[in-house]
Amino acid sequence: MRDFGGIVERSPVRVVRPRSAGEVARAVREAAAQGLDAVPRGLGHSTYGQSLTAGVSIDLRELTGVEVGGRHAVAAAGTSWREVLAATLPHGLVPPVLTDYLDVTVGGTISAGGVGGTSHVRGTQAENVLALDVVVDGGEPVVCSPAVRPGLFDAVRAGLGRHGVITRATLPLVRAPERVLCCTIPCRDAADVLRVQREVRADDMSAQIKPSDDGGGWTYEVKAVLHGDGAQPPPGTTDTEELPYFDFCDRMRPDVEELIRLGEWARPHPWAMVFLPAPRAAAVIKATLADMTPADLGRSGVILVKSLRVGHVPMLAVPDDPVLFSVLRTASPGCASAAEMLAANGTLLDRTRAVGGTRYAVDSVPA
């Protein structure tokens, strides 16, 4: 069995596909009785074996369903964010933070941290949770929240499934806009990207660094997305596009379909994702890019920069004022090999640690 990274392979003793918290609890108890690890798996979109095991794989994709009531939703852990959105949007509501890609699971991203375009204002998905139903190590189903078993609540959020299996999450909801205005702001370099992300007020914010057309360098661009009518593009905007809100949330889908068609989606993905302290981020990004050519990123690789705010999520180690720098490599034919890309990820992690940064633990960096 592999994950999206396509680098690590594990053969589980068995795969169970529970449809209820009770079935999860039984699977955890049976694994413990045999002395086997029980490792939860959402859609396996982590990239270096985080959802894989040689013990019992608890595949949560059949534990799905969403109920919307008032200003919250209760979602089973294997539900994708696409399915959550499909349930909440008819009520004009949406979770405060959505991942850029909707086809990852509620349990998987809460266990990772879950960063999205609104994370500069609203933090991670892991802190936008009201309560969790969890099957703990002995196989007992319990509920936890900031008020009930807060220690467990803190251990499972961003806990990578090591302290229990989330079976259900109660999520707060906020009002969803009907349309959004996407504004493109070209930037000179990484420092300029960080300045724009700091100074511009936007509801959703991201930045991408791409190989320049002449192949001799990199181009930098911030996307500032404004919710609601009458929004005015921020200074520096060169291009705008108005979109229905759902189309904006699902913006990655056409690219993903193309990558599947090209075979790139199935290739190894040695992804580096690090949290840098903002004052040192531009220097690390600059040094990383100076070492890199487009072949080190792969044909469909992507580089993202996202300033964010992280609230109370003890298991998510981040520096003060964090910037998520993601070098999302694809080992395409004719480009650097997966092993070379992993080595480059190791260099980035060394640079990150040298300035007090940390890794986002769903990345691919050899231990």
Ligand X SMILES: Cc1cc2nc3c(=O)[nH]c(=O)nc-3n(C[C@H](O)[C@H](O)[C@H](O)COP(=O)(O)OP(=O)(O)OC[C@H]3O[C@@H](n4cnc5c(N)ncnc54)[C@H](O)[C@@H]3O)c2cc1C
Interface ranges with ligand X (CB under 6 A): 4, 39-46, 50-51, 60, 77, 99-101, 104-105, 107-109, 111-116, 160-161, 165-166, 362
Residue (158 or 224) nearer to ligand X, CB:
158
Cα angle 118-361-62, degrees, rounded to a multiple of 5 = 80
Q: Smallest distance from the beta carbon of 235 to ligand X, in angstroms?
A: 27
Q: Smallest distance from the beta carbon of 171 to ligand X, in angstroms?
A: 14
Provide the CA 163 distance to its chain's centre, in angstroms.
20
Residue (40 or 211) nearer to ligand X, CB:
40
Q: Smallest distance from the beta carbon of 93 to ligand X, in angstroms?
A: 20
Q: Tell me the two tokens of residue 262.
A: 């090209």
The one-letter amino acid code at 125 reads Q
Q: State whether residue 185 is helix, strand or coil.
A: strand
Q: Smallest distance from the beta carbon of 215 to ligand X, in angstroms?
A: 25
Which helix (H) or strand (E) segment is 192 a member of? helix 190-199
Which helix (H) or strand (E) segment is 251 a member of? none
Residue (290 or 367) nearer to ligand X, CB:
367
As a whole number of angstroms, the distance between CA 98 and CA 251 comes to: 12
Q: Smallest distance from the beta carbon of 290 to ligand X, in angstroms?
A: 26
Residue (81 or 231) nearer to ligand X, CB:
81
- Residue closest to ligand X, measured at CB: 108
Q: Smallest distance from the beta carbon of 312 to ligand X, in angstroms?
A: 17
Residue (105 or 345) nearer to ligand X, CB:
105
As a whole number of angstroms, the distance between CA 347 and CA 304 comes to: 18
For 208, counting Cβ atoms within 10 Å of its Cβ (0-12 exposed, 13-18 middle, 19+ buried), the class is middle
Residue (166 or 335) nearer to ligand X, CB:
166
Q: State whether residue 306 is helix, strand or coil.
A: strand
**Closest by alpha carbon to 270, among 1, 71, 6, 55?**
6
